[in-house]
Amino acid sequence: MSTPVVDKAPGAARESVGARLVRALLTQRIVLLAILIVVVVLVMFYLSANDYLTAEYSTDYMASSLINAVPLAMLGLAELVVILSGRGGIDLSVGAIVSLAGMIFGFAYGEWGWTLWISVILAAVVGGLLGAVNGFLVSVVGFPALITTLATYYAYKSIAIVINNQSPISTPAIQDLYSTARSVELPVIGSYLPNFPLGLFTFLLPTVVVTWLLLARTTYGRRLYAIGTNDVAAQWSGINVRDTRFKAYVFAGVVSGLVAVVTVAQFASARPDAGTSGNGMALPAITIAVLGGVAITGGIGRVSGIVLATLLIVWLNAGILLYFVGNEGAQYQLLALGAVLVFAALLNGLTNRRYGGAR
């Protein structure tokens, strides 16, 4: 009686253990980001223990630095949804929407005397309307997303500056919002852990959950991935490509409006340049999206990648601030951000060519 012969795929038979490890690291972006986070944290703890840093890099410091992760991760999620929609999808105007929606929120809550929750809803609605302008121009008119959102970036930024004669809004009611940006102790296990910024639980966590549910558990999410992969095929299968892409920009605008409330609380002031000063908020958000494994061509990307990429950027920046004295640290943060963006783009290109994309 002869033994049956089981044929193996030629590629699988030739692939070594090392090649399989490389494949796993490149295609499983979550694993790669988790390893990079561990490496960054261990290096910073080593430098701190040997007095190379100007202050201690401790777990308390890491937890407090997460206050910067709230707006970054939220805008990274906004870019995730827009980029997933494909056809060069990108939103350069999110920082300007943060500035303009923040000023509207400042007027409503700080000067008109509206209640906090109604003012927050107003900021989200304003952000959604500004995003709808982007969505209309991109999905209905057919303008390129890069040019469209660059144009609206300038327009929204200009309106935010002139709407209050270039002055911030810093009434007592706005100043009192700073208390919502404080760090809090977690219930039950809080005495064993550092205090975490309240914004993680009031803004970031709900946004993460909603975005994950939207992409992973709804018909809209499946349609978004489909049009990002091949919008012609999606249209032939009966998907309303124009409507799906339009809603992606509206979602990004709503999230940007909520980020406006976060920044007003952190600054204790509604600043007309809150989202556009320096290099603005859009470029770091796009960097986080690319680093998190989002394919710039659309159709590929996960919420978990955005969250881990944000942690990597925030804790790397926190360490750089302690390594350099004075304002040099802020400048080297930009250098690190650029290096990370180039690394992420090269990594995504290599992964797409060899393995068809990361997961």
Given a cut of 90, whether residue 250 has pLDDT beyond it is yes
Dihedral of the alpha carbons of 257, 259, 262, 266, in degrees to the nearest 10: -120
CA angle 27, 31, 37 (to 5 degrees): 130
Given a cut of 90, whether residue 168 has pLDDT beyond it is yes
* pTM of this structure: 0.90
pLDDT tens per residue across span 326-337: 777 778 888 888
Per-state percent for the chain, helix, strand, coil, to nearest 5: 70, 0, 25
Mean pLDDT of 19-26: 74
* Greater pLDDT, 11 or 206: 206
Q: Are 100 and 134 in contact (CB under 8 A)?
A: no
pLDDT tens per residue across span 71-94: 999 999 999 999 999 989 999 999
Q: Are 336 and 317 in contact (CB under 8 A)?
A: yes
Q: Are 105 and 119 in contact (CB under 8 A)?
A: yes
pLDDT tens per residue across span 201-248: 999 999 999 999 999 999 999 999 999 988 899 889 899 999 999 999
Integer Cα distance of 310 and 304 in angstroms:
10
pLDDT tens per residue across span 129-164: 999 999 999 999 999 999 999 999 999 999 999 999
Q: What is the mean pLDDT of the chain?
A: 88
Mean pLDDT of 54-69: 92
